[in-house]
Copies of this chain bind each other. A is one copy, B any other.
Amino acid sequence: MTLPVGILLDLAGTFVFGISGAMLAVRRGLDVFGIAALAVAAALAGGMIRDMLLGAEPVAAFAQPLYLWAALAAAGLVFFAHRALERLANPVMLLDALGLGLFAVAGCRKALQFGLDPLPAILLGVLTAVGGGAVRDLLVTEVPRVLREEVYALAALVGAAIVVIGDRLSLPEIWVLPVGVLSAFLLRVLSVRRGWQAPKAPGSGSPD
């Protein structure tokens, strides 16, 4: 039975992305409903987009109430403890990186279960991973982090690609999934810490 692994990955990603959304809301001075809204958007939008694109409806975020509770729990935690969370080093970045890995792996895995080819499955993994954060940022009219920050989509892509390779080689999921999550997480965190940049088109303008 493979379902619980998918739900577990999803729930963990939901919680950490929920925290990232709620903390952005606190920083922007939004009220308790804005905090809940950004937590829910960041936590659930990626998976909702994934399920709508696959035709897996009603989407998991509604079919399984645990997701919603996880997002709201993240909002509640941030509401009361955001000052403590802020004191941790770049906590939003770290949680975002973890959610990125968890959702890339979960999204790609579900895409393979729905019979998608490797390339679309990897893209859907990336979309699941970056979708929630993109909706979160767009809701406060910021250019999504995935477009502003180097090696963000790449990290998700590596995590998803590991799932596809593991599936092709019939490797056991118990190893493949954690390796995929960790690879995406580490690549993302290292790229931030070291200031790695992806190449730009030769002769293109500077970011604005």
Is the CB–CB distance between A33 and B141 below 8 Å?
no
Tell me the chain A residues, 8-31 only, with Cβ under 8 Å from chain B. Answer: 25-31
Is the CB–CB distance between B206 and A29 below 8 Å?
yes
A100 at the interface (CB under 8 A from B): no
A104 at the interface (CB under 8 A from B): no
Is the CB–CB distance between B58 and A58 below 8 Å?
no
Is the CB–CB distance between B204 and A29 below 8 Å?
yes
User: Of all chain B residues, which has the CB nearest A38?
Assistant: B147
**Distance, CA A30 to CA B63, complexed state (A):** 38
Is the CB–CB distance between B59 and A48 below 8 Å?
no
A60 shortest CB reach to chain B, Å: 10
A67 shortest CB reach to chain B, Å: 9
Is the CB–CB distance between B142 and A147 below 8 Å?
no
Query: On chain A, which size bracket covers the interface?
Result: 35 or more
User: Of all chain B residues, which has the CB nearest A52?
Assistant: B52
Contact stretch, chosen from A89-97, A114-122, A167-175, A176-184: A114-122
Is the CB–CB distance between B53 and A59 below 8 Å?
yes
Is the CB–CB distance between A31 and B139 below 8 Å?
no
**Distance, CA A116 to CA B187, complexed state (A):** 38
User: Of all chain B residues, which has the CB nearest A144?
Assistant: B139
Given contacts A116-B62, A141-B142, is CB(A82)–CB(B154) below 8 Å? Answer: no
Q: Which of B65, B116, B142, B201 contacts A35 (CB 8 A)?
A: B201
Is the CB–CB distance between B154 and A124 below 8 Å?
no
**Distance, CA A78 to CA B198, complexed state (A):** 16
**Distance, CA A207 to CA B202, complexed state (A):** 35
A40 at the interface (CB under 8 A from B): yes
Chain A residues within 8 Å of B, Cβ to Cβ: 25-38, 40, 48, 52-55, 57-59, 61-63, 65, 68-69, 78-80, 82-83, 111, 114-117, 119-120, 123-124, 134, 138-144, 146-147, 150-154, 197-208
In the A-B complex, the 8 residue pairs with the closest CB atoms: A55-B57, A29-B207, A31-B198, A62-B120, A33-B153, A29-B205, A26-B204, A29-B206
